[in-house]
Structure 1
Amino acid sequence: MRHVTVIGGGIIGLAVAWKLTGRGYRVTVLEKEDHWAAHQTGHNSNVVHAGLYYRPGSLKARLSVAGNRSMVAFAREHGVPVEVCGKLVVATSEAELPALGVLAERAEANGVPATMLEPAQAAEYEPEVTCVRALRVHSTAVIDFPAVCRVLATLARDAGADLRLNSPALGIRTGDRGGVEVATPHGVVASDVLVNCAGLHSDRVARLAGFTPSARIVPFRGEYYTLRPERRHLVRGLIYPVPDPALPFLGVHLTRMLDGSVHAGPNAVPALRREGYRWRDVSPGDLLDTLTFPGTWRFARRYAFPVGWDEVRRSLSKRRFAASLARLVPAVTPDDIVRHDSGVRAQALLPDGRLADDFLVEESRGQVHVLNAPSPAATSALEIASHIVDRVTAHA
């Protein structure tokens, strides 16, 4: 029986492990933290995306549309809370209507069910929203992704996978007889194939394995607020802005969670360490890694002013954050929001300063490296896992 080592215990690593056991592989999962879904999966918006935003034909488009269906079906089959609530993408000015029209075209091209609404129709879904037109995306859902991970871990373990917490990869080399050997604090794991699902550290794991990745991980922190309980009635579901196609992120939005709370955000600011959930979380080594990469400076020349500076000011000013939300729901004021958790996005940056805009999976002999899997990776996790397992089969 062929043996595969998976590094990373987020939703993609666990989904890969489960799918591999279903194909008859022996599997070992190595996770450096003491629990599953410790970073990106455990700090995201818990939205099952529909596949609206992504370039038709891209991996993101294909795998997120299929992933929306498979993730909702998985949750219902295994008792994970999920609600298909839909969302509104709202144009708050005439200037945003062309971009909203492009989104409607992408929805049609990608097979995403969506309906264009006039303001009175949008108000039937979200009475407090302001818009000149809105796109209703019907298949968007909210879910508990950490609960999905707990189920995946149980399924993989029950199928024979060896799941190891507190097991960082300290060294990786090709074995004397082929295959891959991974050194951990608890001994060496030898296997035929390595799958790198290390998220925020995926490029480092690749280099540790002797592989030169085409991109560098540059961390961005997304900060969230939440509406005070007495103001939750302002939002019934999910309300998103029309994204600026010239900018790399979606913009702050409002999401009603499964427990009835309403989260607002995230913004996007540079994180000063790869697991930097607060401004005071600083790693000199991580900063050096970012600042010595040429792509960082090329990206900064493109986006630092005014876009990046505006994001930083919004991070530091509750008033500015609330003003961004009030573009969507005018009744929201600074007094209505309180600080909530943050997440860190493992964004792959190319040497020319461009963000990798699609899922990025690269390979060498006996190795498969998942180097860019930000949102909608959680949505697409089961489909990404199948894609990766197909790659593993080609190596095994």
Structure 2
Amino acid sequence: MYDFAIIGGGIVGLSTAMALGSRYPDARILVLEKESQWAFHQTGNNSGVIHSGIYYKPGSFKAKFCRDGSRSMVEFCQKHDIEHDICGKVIVATESQELSRLENLYQRGLDNGIAVQRISSEEVKEIEPHVSCVGGIRVFSTGIVNYKQVCLKYAEIIQKQGGDLRLNTKVLQISPSGKNQVLETNQGSFETRFVINCAGLHSDRMAKLGKANPQAKIVPFRGEYYELTPEKRYLVKTLIYPVPNPDFPFLGVHFTRMIDNSVHAGPNAVLSLKREGYKKTDFDLRDFAEVITYPGFWKLAAKHADEGIQEIIRSFSKAAFVRSLQKLIPEVQTADLVPTHAGVRAQALMSNGSLVDDFLIIQGDNSIHVCNAPSPAATSSLEIGKAIVNQIPQESPLLETAVKN
């Protein structure tokens, strides 16, 4: 019998287990992950950026958790000797009509309590000599890290706390058993007093198994990247982002220096025809049918038709992808880029066609379901874990048992 069972071994599931072990050191805690390693999906295929929180609506979970998370993540890395670099980034306007949006973003950064600075095109060139722009913002707190290494440290800490970590264990069913719940898996059954669903790309399905309403459907978007060849890495010193279109849910193609010193360019964002579809050819009939028959998807597609078409073109045309990058760095040529691994973003979509633009955490019967935690969830993971633990009903008999065990 376990006190808490966490479904999902990505960075949010592991951070939650670690926070539980810290709050309730005598509780029996179980983490179930269907893959053979931790951080296999979203966490292990992201850009490795420690985000500042500049983009998010003031007062939102994303804004608060990301701002606080960027600090706590750096402190965690320092404490545990995990390689990271607070290199900062620049967000640049490449055309004069983008300057008003750049100013709005600067003000949002101030509203979110982030260290930001307006800089001229000349000052941008002092930081990133190869960028072409008409103005920019410098964001000082942005950094880079390998989140897989962070997750391995989380797992190590959970084990030291006495937690039970199970890989290759896929949850197939959730069944009530009196006041408890039984998780039926491919490795047998596990009974627990409380379930926390951090299943990422499958979080909506897992919520339904637990008889909870996820309030939205996960629609997978594949982020496709290229990588600069080693001899062209000099073109990028830190991180270079365009001014995002506030009406479009993605940030646009940008340059990211990774912690291993490689430089990734992208992402191009397209609908994935499989929830774990990292290749253009990946296809799953169930995943595809769920999206294509969901009214919310067609409403979203109609709203963003022009941008969506451009994303599809860039997906199949390297030349079009390169032209987007040349708006930031004109020197970049087609031969300077080679394909690299893609990621898949688990984005919750409402039936009315609106994207869930904040973290979505839902209470169930003796359960909590994290039904939307895309970027900046990795940056925010320590804060999300603490917030989930704080949402466990304090009057629950479970807590008395967990403390006494």
Q: For residues 17-51 of structure 1, what are the alpha-carbon distances to aligned partners after superposition, in whole Å with 9 as ceiling and x for unaligned? A: 11101111321000000000000000000000000
Q: Match for residue 332 of structure 2?
A: 332
Superposed counterparts of 1:266-345, under 5 Å: 266-303=267-304, 305-345=305-345
Question: Is residue 2:119 matched to residue 1:108?
Answer: no
What is the alpha-carbon distance in structure 2 between the residues aligned to residue 73 and residue 240 of structure 1?
25
Q: Match for residue 235 of structure 2?
A: 234
Q: 1:39 aligns with which of 16, 38, 41?
A: 41
Aligned 8 A contact 2:170 2:187 in 1: no
Q: Shift of residue 89 of structure 1?
A: 0.1
Q: Match for residue 217 of structure 1?
A: 218
Q: Secondary structure at the match of 2:346?
A: strand
Q: Shift of residue 257 of structure 1?
A: 1.2
Q: Shift of residue 392 of structure 1?
A: 2.1
Task: Tell which deviates more after alignment, 22-31 or 338-347.
Answer: 22-31
Q: Shift of residue 186 of structure 1?
A: 1.9
**Aligned residue type for 1:137:** V
Q: Match for residue 207 of structure 1?
A: 208
Q: Secondary structure at the match of 2:114?
A: coil
Q: Between the two proteins, what is the percent identity of the paired residues?
A: 47
Q: Match for residue 57 of structure 1?
A: 59
What is the alpha-carbon distance in structure 1 between the residues aligned to residue 260 and residue 297 of structure 2?
39
What is the alpha-carbon distance in structure 2 between the residues aligned to residue 335 and residue 374 of structure 1?
32
Aligned 8 A contact 1:173 1:210 in 2: no
Q: Match for residue 384 of structure 1?
A: 384
Q: For residues 77-115 of structure 1, what are the alpha-carbon distances to aligned partners after superposition, in whole Å with 9 as ceiling and x for unaligned? A: 111111000000000111000110011001100011010
What is the alpha-carbon distance in structure 2 between the residues aligned to residue 12 and residue 217 of structure 1?
17
Aligned 8 A contact 1:122 1:134 in 2: yes
What is the alpha-carbon distance in structure 2 between the residues aligned to residue 210 and residue 258 of structure 1?
41
What is the alpha-carbon distance in structure 2 between the residues aligned to residue 141 and residue 26 of structure 1?
35
Question: Is residue 2:373 matched to residue 1:373?
Answer: yes
Question: Is residue 2:34 matched to residue 1:13?
Answer: no
Aligned 8 A contact 2:2 2:191 in 1: no
What is the alpha-carbon distance in structure 1 between the residues aligned to residue 252 and residue 83 of structure 2?
26
Q: Match for residue 357 of structure 2?
A: 357
Q: For residues 301-357 of structure 1, what are the alpha-carbon distances to aligned partners after superposition, in whole Å with 9 as ceiling and x for unaligned? A: 111x21111101101111111111110011111111100000000000001000000
Q: Shift of residue 282 of structure 1?
A: 0.2
What is the alpha-carbon distance in structure 2 between the residues aligned to residue 127 and residue 179 of structure 1?
60
What is the alpha-carbon distance in structure 2 between the residues aligned to residue 5 and residue 65 of structure 1?
28
Superposed counterparts of 1:56-205, under 5 Å: 56-175=58-177, 177-205=178-206
Query: Which segments of 5 or more consecutive residues in structure 2 lack a partner in the other structure?
Result: 399-405
Equivalences, count: 394
What is the alpha-carbon distance in structure 1 between the residues aligned to residue 56 and residue 141 of structure 2?
15
Please tell me the root mean square deviation across aligned C-alpha atoms, in Å.
Answer: 1.0
Q: Match for residue 27 of structure 1?
A: 29
What is the alpha-carbon distance in structure 1 between the residues aligned to residue 14 and residue 2 of structure 2?
18
TM-score by length of 2: 0.96
Aligned 8 A contact 1:203 1:213 in 2: yes
What is the alpha-carbon distance in structure 2 between the residues aligned to residue 317 and residue 301 of structure 1?
23
Task: Tell which deviates more after alignment, 288-297 or 354-363.
Answer: 288-297
What is the alpha-carbon distance in structure 1 between the residues aligned to residue 125 and residue 273 of structure 2?
41
Q: Shift of residue 2 of structure 1?
A: 7.0
What is the alpha-carbon distance in structure 2 between the residues aligned to residue 219 and residue 151 of structure 1?
28
What is the alpha-carbon distance in structure 1 between the residues aligned to residue 389 and residue 62 of structure 2?
17
What is the alpha-carbon distance in structure 2 between the residues aligned to residue 157 and residue 259 of structure 1?
28
Q: Shift of residue 243 of structure 1?
A: 0.2
**Aligned residue type for 2:76:** F
Q: Secondary structure at the match of 1:181?
A: strand
Q: Secondary structure at the match of 1:105?
A: helix
What is the alpha-carbon distance in structure 2 between the residues aligned to residue 263 and residue 2 of structure 1?
42
Q: Secondary structure at the match of 2:54?
A: coil
Q: For residues 247-269 of structure 1, what are the alpha-carbon distances to aligned partners after superposition, in whole Å with 9 as ceiling and x for unaligned? A: 11000100111221110011110
What is the alpha-carbon distance in structure 2 between the residues aligned to residue 46 and residue 226 of structure 1?
14
What is the alpha-carbon distance in structure 1 between the residues aligned to residue 271 and residue 303 of structure 2?
15
Q: Match for residue 403 of structure 2?
A: none
What is the alpha-carbon distance in structure 2 between the residues aligned to residue 260 and residue 209 of structure 1?
43
**Aligned residue type for 2:199:** A
Task: Tell which deviates more after alignment, 8-17 or 287-296.
Answer: 287-296
Q: Match for residue 257 of structure 1?
A: 258
What is the alpha-carbon distance in structure 2 between the residues aligned to residue 268 and residue 179 of structure 1?
41
Query: Which segments of 5 or more consecutive residues in structure 1 lack a partner in the other structure?
Result: none
**Aligned residue type for 2:49:** V
TM-score by length of 1: 0.98
Aligned 8 A contact 1:194 1:366 in 2: yes
Aligned 8 A contact 2:220 2:272 in 1: yes
Aligned 8 A contact 2:240 2:256 in 1: yes
Q: Secondary structure at the match of 2:379?
A: coil
Runs of 4+ more than 4 Å apart:
none
